[in-house]
Amino acid sequence: MAVEESEAAGVVYSRNHPFMAPVLRNVNLNGPGSAKETRHIELLLEGSGIGYECGDSLGVFPTNDVELVDLALEALGSNGEETVADAQWGTLPLRAALLRRYELNNVPPNLVKAVAERSGDARLGELALPGNQKALEAYADGRDSIDLILDHPGMRLSAQEFVACLRRMRPRLYSIASSPKANPGRAHLTVAVVRYEHRGRSRLGVASTYLAERIGEGGFAPIFLHRSKFRMPEDGAAPMIMVGPGTGVAPFRAFLQEREALGQRGDNWLFFGDQRGATDFLYGPEFEAMRDKGLLSRLSLAWSREGPRKVYVQHLMLEAGAEIWSWLERGAHFYVCGDASRMAAEVDAALRQIVRDHGGRDEDAAGEYLEAMKKVRRYQRDVY
C-alpha cells in the first residue's frame, strides 16, 4: 500500500491524520425505480495539500450507524457510558468506541472463540478451532458481531472483553471519479450503497451508507489520499479502451475529463454496464455528451436486466472483437475497473479470445500477447 502524506500550512494529512473534507454534493445517480443506489459525492480538498492524479483513490474512515451501536449496547446490557481502554485510542466511553473505532458488521474469530468459551456453545467452539476456516467463513457470511451476542442471551461479556475481540475500524477506498485539471481543489466519488437483509435484520455496509446517509451536503468526511499505479497513457494520442461496469466507471470519468481538459486527441472507447439503461446509466448524460462531441469515439452499453438474457460488458467486447483487435494493434491501452470476483476474470477471458480469434494466435501466444501488454503498462486493472 502506498503511504501518502500531504501537507498544507504545516499540517500533514495522512491515513493516520485524515483531512476532514467538506461534502459539497451528495446525490443519487440512479433513477426512480432502480434496484440500486449509487451516490455521486463531491469533496472539497482546498487546504488539504492533497494533489491527486487520475487513477488514485481516496480512503474514507467511516462512523457506524447509531442504531447499530444502540443494538450492540442493548445486546451487551450497557448504557454506553462505561469506559474501555484501547492501546491506540486510550480510554474512551464504550458508545464512542463502537461508533468510530471498531467494526461491528463482521464476525471476528476472536469473538467467536470468546463467545464459545463463555456460553459453552460447542458448535461455535468447533468453528473457532484451527483448520475450520471454511466453516467459520460460511457461518460468518451475512452475520455480524451483534448476532453472536444476541444468539447467546444468557452469556455475560464485559464491554472491555467485547471490544478487545473486535477489529479496528478500517478505512474503505473509493476510486476518484474526477480529473483535478477539470475540478481543481475537488474530488468526486461514485459509491455503490451496500444494503441487504439477513436473519430478519437489514444490514448496512458501514462506509457506503456512512457516505450515502450519515454525512450529507455540508458535513465532513475524514479522508486521505491513496496513490495508485493505475494510470492513463503518457501519450495523449494513444487510444484507450476502458471497461468499467457499475462503480468501475469512476476512474474512467476522471480519465475522460482529463483528456478533454488537456486537449488530448487519442481515441476513447468506454464499455459500461449495469442493470437497466433507464435508471442505472451512471453519469449517462455526461457520457452521451462526450460521445456527441467526439471525445468518446465509441460507447458500448450492456444492460443486464432488460431482456430475457444477461448482457454483460464482455459480451459486447466479443461482438466488437475485430474492432478491439484493430485498436490493440494501433497501440490502444486496455483498462478494467470494478468487480474482482467474476467480472475482471471474464473480461480477461474475452480479451484473450479476441486476441486468439482476430489476431490468429493460439492460447499460449494470446497469453504472451497480453503479458507483453501488461509489461509495458498497456493492460491495467483496478479491481476490488
Ligand X SMILES: Cc1cc2nc3c(=O)[nH]c(=O)nc-3n(C[C@H](O)[C@H](O)[C@H](O)COP(=O)(O)OP(=O)(O)OC[C@H]3O[C@@H](n4cnc5c(N)ncnc54)[C@H](O)[C@@H]3O)c2cc1C
Ligand Y SMILES: NC(=O)c1ccc[n+]([C@@H]2O[C@H](COP(=O)([O-])OP(=O)(O)OC[C@H]3O[C@@H](n4cnc5c(N)ncnc54)[C@H](OP(=O)(O)O)[C@@H]3O)[C@@H](O)[C@H]2O)c1
Residues near ligand X (CB under 6 A) = 57, 105, 142, 172-175, 190-192, 194, 196, 198, 205-208, 247, 250, 382, 384
The reply to whether 60 sits near ligand Y by the rule CB under 6 A is: no
Q: Which of 34, 275, 279, 297 binds ligand Y (CB under 6 A)?
A: 275
Report the nearest approach of ligand X to the CB of residue 130 (Å).
22
AA letter at 139: Y
C-alpha cell at 232: 492513463
Q: Which does 105 bind (CB under 5 to 8 A by kind): ligand X, ligand Y, none?
A: ligand X
Helix (H) and strand (E) counts in the chain: 15, 17
Contact 69, 104 (CB under 8 A): yes
Q: Which does 64 bind (CB under 5 to 8 A by kind): ligand X, ligand Y, none?
A: none
Whichever of 55 and 338 has its CB closer to ligand Y, that residue is 338
Q: Is 79 exposed, middle or buried, given 0-12, 13-18 or 19+ CB atoms closer than 10 A?
A: exposed
Q: 190 CB contacts (<8 Å, ≥6 apart)?
A: 29, 38, 39, 40, 41, 174, 175, 177, 247, 249, 250, 253, 282, 283
Which residue lies nearest ligand Y, judged by its C-beta? 246
Q: Which of 62, 273, 284, 321 binds ligand Y (CB under 6 A)?
A: 273
Q: 319 CB contacts (<8 Å, ≥6 apart)?
A: none
Whichever of 56 and 382 has its CB closer to ligand Y, that residue is 382
Separation of alpha carbons 226 and 212, rounded Å: 21
Report the nearest approach of ligand Y to the CB of residue 98 (Å).
23
CA 21, 27, 28, 29 torsion-angle sign? negative
Report the nearest approach of ligand Y to the CB of residue 9 (Å).
36
Name 17's bridge partners.
Answer: 14
Q: Which of 274, 333, 337, 366 binds ligand Y (CB under 6 A)?
A: 274
Q: Which does 275 bind (CB under 5 to 8 A by kind): ligand Y, ligand X, none?
A: ligand Y
Q: Which does 134 bind (CB under 5 to 8 A by kind): ligand Y, ligand X, none?
A: none
Q: 332 CB contacts (<8 Å, ≥6 apart)?
A: 238, 239, 240, 241, 267, 269, 324, 378
Whichever of 26 and 190 has its CB closer to ligand X, that residue is 190
Q: Which of 342, 362, 364, 375 binds ligand Y (CB under 6 A)?
A: 342
Name 173's bridge partners.
Answer: 59
Chain contacts with ligand Y (rule: CB under 6 A): 36, 38, 192, 194, 245-248, 273-275, 304-305, 310, 312-314, 338-343, 346, 384
